[in-house]
Structure 1
């Protein structure tokens, strides 16, 4: 694994732990030689994960749509900045530039990116690991909802297992790095979606 895309909020939230963990994730990735690929903003959790990686000497690639670039939220000190026409192109490039994905706390945009990329995995469009950092239990209700969906047989267990989760940054990064290509694709290919 050479790079991880991080989905997270462009707001800081009201719990300083989120900012601290975003910064720490960027640092840990840089220290492990993992390139950070993210949404390209300099604000909120997005700005902190980039700052952490850059301060630790890491490579950081931002991917931002033109309309957001114009709102002056763009980070101008990145290793590389890719400007896209729209949000759809942004997600395609985030996928192309990354070997795995981590979602930190965030809002609608973070969830939309997370669920689109996990759906692509479910459909066999990629075989990259996807995880959530459950900072301070931020995603507890989401995890409970996913398990409820399985119990109601609207989400198959094998697809639920596509989403890795941990509350510890190092452990989550380790899970992504040790996930072997084909761990799920082979099982999924045997069954119908």
Structure 2
């Protein structure tokens, strides 16, 4: 049985202008539905977020949306989800996503997508969770970001071990396999809580 029962997907609330990204969101939703993986996401009915949710619902997949109260007022919330969880703020939203998900995948998006991705990978680096994090690099969208991360390693700001925490692929099936095979990293001694 897969250890990935619920996967949180970070992605854009805009559609963008690259149809390959929309196609990838549809394909990911169909794959989740086929594998009985529950989608956890930001609860929007618009953009790439809406596309993957609609695909899941159309194929009888389960979708859990998590949204802060103030965003519900902006008429972006999807009201037809399997489950809708409302939080007080953005931080509680991300905390809830982390609590109920078995892994995370980032699709293309903007500032919000990057912020969610980097916070969740920082939590993994710090040992606050032990779940796999995947980056679906559709049509080279994240090539420049990956080049920047390599520069961070080369300049001594990012350890190679931490760079390798981010699982990257252009194929959905390959990425999910990497996530299944993910081994929890060793937590540095200085991060472990002291015993009293």
Question: TM-score if structure 1 supplies the norm length?
Answer: 0.94
- Corresponding residue SS for 1:121: helix
Q: What is residue 14 of structure 1 aligned with on the other side?
A: 17
**Ranges in structure 1 where 5+ consecutive residues have no aligned partner:** none
The alpha-carbon deviation at position 190 of structure 1 amounts to 5.5
2:136 is equivalent to residue 133 of structure 1:
yes
Match of 2:81 in 1: 78
1:29 equivalent in structure 2: 32
Describe the superposition over 1:110-150 as per-residue Cα deviations: whole angstroms up to 9, x where unpaired: 00000000000000000000011000000000000001100
Residue among 32, 35, 59 paired with 1:56: 59
**How far apart, in 1, do the equivalents of 2:188 and 2:145 lie?**
27
Q: Which residue of 2 aligns with 1:189?
A: 188
Q: Tell me the TM-score normalised to structure 2 length.
A: 0.93
Write the deviation string for residues 152-178 of structure 1: whole angstroms up to 9, x where unpaired: 111000000100000111111121122
Residue 102 (structure 1) aligned with residue 105 (structure 2)? yes
Retained in 1: the 8 A contact 2:43–2:64? Answer: yes
Root mean square deviation, CA, Å: 1.4
Aligned residues: 189
Stretch of structure 1 that moved more, 171-180 or 31-40: 171-180
- The answer to whether the Cα contact below 8 Å between 1:26 and 1:53 also exists between their aligned partners in 2 is yes
Measured after TM superposition, the shift of residue 191 of structure 1 is 7.4
Is 1:145 matched up with 2:144? Answer: no
Residue 35 of structure 1 contacts residue 59 of structure 1 at CA under 8 Å; is this kept in 2? yes
Task: Give ranges in structure 2 of 5+ residues lacking alignment.
Answer: none
More moved, 22-31 vs 35-44: 22-31
